[in-house]
Amino acid sequence: MRPGGLSAAIEALRQGAGTALSHPLRSVLGALAVAVAVGTVATVDASLFALGEYARRSTARTFGADTFVVAQVASAGQASRRELQRKLQRNPPLRRAELRFLEQNAGGRALYAATAQARADLTSGARRFEYAAVNGTGAALPELRDLALARGRFFLPEEERRAAPVVVLGHDVAETLFPGRDPLGQQVRLGRRAFTVIGVQQKQGTAGGVSLDRYVWLPLPAWERVFGPAATLQVTGRAPGGQPYTLAEDRARASLRARRSLRPGEEDDFDVLTPDAARGFVLRLAQRVSAAAPPIALMALLAAVVVVANTTLVSVTQRTREIGVRRALGASRRHVMAEVLAESALVALAGGLAGLLGAVLLAEAARLVSGADFVVRGSAAGVGLATSLAAGLVAGLYPAHRAALVDVIAALRLE
């Protein structure tokens, strides 16, 4: 910057700020338009981030972050009703014998845990919890997904083998049956059988509209003593040692195809649900929101540019005599243009800051209400401020050009 350039820039900013502050209503209208545009961009970004985090966490809670599921039908909401019906007719149920075959042929590449679910009431004394999701599963399940135990433990392999009458309760079940008491060691009745509570899960909320706090876990053999043999099993699998789940998935698929004597090229008669597919619905929703966001933000930004340009043009018109006096006293066209650009840029930047503040407050309110990770990220804030500054400069170009072309003699004649 040449000598005097910095002082000239500071003087332009001072003059621009003074002009904006001397007409607060006009400046607020311009800033408000920019605030709406920047707030829209930041809010959409926070919503997309929250959707992505929700997809990741809900999948990890209900499915496991690096696991897959083999089942008779496991579509994760992606198949039509007709397709589901076709699969139910074509795919045979998954039985205990096939689970044993998968385990015998894992070859150290996969860990498995089967699950069967039924809806039933649990009681403890005079208290009842209705329609709980009662899951019979394997002792290896905690190795495959995070069950978020708050107290106690999960059942052991030896307890699974002997169908021990032990149970792990979801948060809501424990709170309903044992309000104000420690559930560990207490008895609950399921059907006509008594079970000892050995663990309680943390509060986990919902996933896909289904409460995860109504779950009850017990050994699969004990579950079968209450409900009888499962109509079909759902097998959760994972590769050991942090290896990619695709290795275990390929092993499970090949093993089950061999067990069912499927020929090469023949369609699988079972479903495999991967973590990416389980997150699919939320991620597709996020993609739709992100596709709609740019046009909305662009429209809001164009409207803001027009409003700021109009308010700045009005300012130039009202200051025509003042501009003429400044030109007569030695101010150059460049100085006049810099002052007008500084005014529009400062108004737009103030609007950008207000929009970001509004987006932060809105995100915090949404986080407190929903518990989701609504956060205005630093990258979105930086883009918002840069965009507002650029919008202010663009909006000020025409008014600045008009100001620079003011005829000094004609301006001085104005009253």
Give the per-residue pLDDT at 61. 58
Query: Distances from the Cα of 316 to the Cαs of 14, 23, 310, 327, 393, in angstroms?
Result: 16, 12, 10, 14, 15
Task: State the residue for tokens 């994760």.
Answer: 76
Give the per-residue pLDDT at 2. 46
Give the per-residue pLDDT at 297. 72
Q: Residue 26 and residue 41: Cα distance in Å, rounded?
A: 24
Average pLDDT, the chain: 83
- 237: Cβ contacts below 8 Å, ≥ 6 apart: 67, 68, 69, 70, 102, 110, 111, 112, 144, 245, 248, 249, 252
Give the per-residue pLDDT at 66. 77
Give the per-residue pLDDT at 178. 96
Give the per-residue pLDDT at 293. 67
Residue of 335, 145, 131 lying closest to 235 (CA atoms): 145
DSSP 262: P
Q: C-alpha 313: how far from its chain's center?
A: 42
Task: State the residue for tokens 């003042």.
Answer: 322
Query: Distances from the Cα of 153 to the Cαs of 142, 217, 366, in angstroms?
Result: 10, 11, 34
201 beta partners: 149
Give the per-residue pLDDT at 3. 44
pLDDT in tens, 350-402: 988 998 999 899 888 888 887 677 888 888 888 888 888 888 888 888 888 87
- Which stretches in the chain have pLDDT values below 50? 1-3
Q: C-alpha 415: how far from its chain's center?
A: 60
Six token digits for residue 203: 């509060």
Contacts of the segment 128-134: beta carbons below 8 A, 24+ positions apart: 128/177, 129/172, 129/173, 129/176, 129/177, 129/214, 131/214, 132/170, 132/173, 132/214, 132/215, 132/216, 133/170, 133/214, 133/215, 133/216, 134/190, 134/216, 134/218, 134/223, 134/226, 134/227
Strand duo 166-169 + 193-201: pairing: parallel
Residue of 380, 373, 216, 363 lying closest to 282 (CA atoms): 373
Give buried/exposed letters for 381-407 (b at 16+ CB in 10 A, else e): beebbebbbebbbbbbbebbebbbebe
166 beta partners: 196
